Amino acid sequence: MRPHDREAIPDAAARTAVRLSGLADGTVVCGAVDESELERVEEEFLCASGERWGGAWRGVPVAALLDRSDVDVDPEATHVRVAADGYAVCVPVRTALDAVLAVERAGEPLPPARRPRFVASVDAGRTVRGVRELEFLRLGPDEDPQEHEELGY
């Protein structure tokens, strides 16, 4: 493990908790899901950090999260703001529904600071590691989703 991946985390499950907000309500702990709920996807992308990430990822499908009885999402939502500490992207709901919140890569658990990672078919730098919130938004046709982003560059 590289030094920047190490964190003193007393409760790893707390680091995988993803809060749903905006036009949604609920909290999902990705580290507490059953193995059978994880889906395998193949994606490769260039991270905003400059590192290339790819291969087989396993995670909780975002669409499956929204089907849970303890989660409520307004069907009027058009976009999802995927946020971590100091970083956020805003993607169409359809993109989010096709994504997974990955907890593994290449058969190995992701380091706690990078878990879960939003993995989707998106442009470079638009995946998010250490996801903490999925904020569901209703944007009008004249609203720019990028105004809801925090890219740090």
Domain holding 16, by residue range, is 11-148
In a domain, 4, yes or no: no
pLDDT tens digits, 97-145: 999 999 999 889 988 888 899 998 877 667 888 999 999 999 999 999 9
Number of domains in the chain: 1
Is 2 part of a structural domain of the chain? no
Query: Is 122 contained in some domain?
Result: yes
Q: Is residue 13 pLDDT above 80, yes or no?
A: no
**Is residue 139 assigned to a domain?**
yes
Residue 94: the pLDDT is: 93
CATH number of residue 90's parent domain: 3.90.420.10
Structure confidence at residue 6 as a pLDDT band (50, 70, 90): very low
Q: What is the pLDDT of residue 14?
A: 46
In a domain, 102, yes or no: yes
Looking up tokens 């105004």, which residue turns up? 147
**pLDDT at residue number 9:** 36
Q: CA 151 from chain center: how many Å? A: 15
Q: What are the pLDDT digits (tens) for 74-95?
A: 999 999 999 998 899 999 999 9
Q: How confident is residue 153, by pLDDT bands cut at 50, 70 and 90?
A: low
Q: Is residue 6 part of a domain?
A: no
Cα-Cα-Cα-Cα dihedral sign, residues 4, 110, 9, 127: positive
Tokens of 122: 């998106």
Q: Is residue 35 part of a domain?
A: yes
The verdict on residue 45 lying in a domain is: yes
pLDDT at position 53: 75
Report how far residue 48's alpha carbon sits from residue 65's, in angstroms, rounded to the nearest whole number. Answer: 26
Residues 79, 32: Cα–Cα separation, whole Å: 26
Could you report the per-residue pLDDT of 26-75, keeping only the tens digit for each? 887 776 666 777 889 888 877 767 777 778 999 989 998 888 888 889 99
Amino acid at 55: G
Q: Contact, 145 vs 67, CB < 8 A?
A: no
